[in-house]
Amino acid sequence: MPTYEYLCGKCGEFEKDQRITDSALSKCPHCGGKVTKQVGGGGGFIRKGGNWVSKMSSPGDSSKKITDRMMKQTVGEVAEDIARGSKGH
């Protein structure tokens, strides 16, 4: 069951476990104030396949493969920062 984030004008942020088919809350369950549903980052997920970079090594990985994996991750992070305009100047 997914967890949704809400913002109450009086209480602040809170989370609520709801079915996907449930309607969004309109009132705070704590104080009855008006709430708005927040856009969340999502929960954990598992990526499958070989077309992604992970910082985690596998037990059988060679030291070169681990170094290559870390380099790819670092280069990817730098590219994302540049794309967002955070060039570090």
CA distance 75 to 33: 46
Nearest to 35 by CA among 58, 6, 64: 6
Residue 82 binned pLDDT confidence (cut-offs 50, 70, 90): confident
Residue 66 binned pLDDT confidence (cut-offs 50, 70, 90): low
- Residues 3-34: pLDDT tens digits? 889 999 898 999 888 888 999 999 998 999 99
Nearest to 76 by CA among 46, 42, 52: 52
What local confidence, expressed as pLDDT, does residue 20 receive?
A: 86
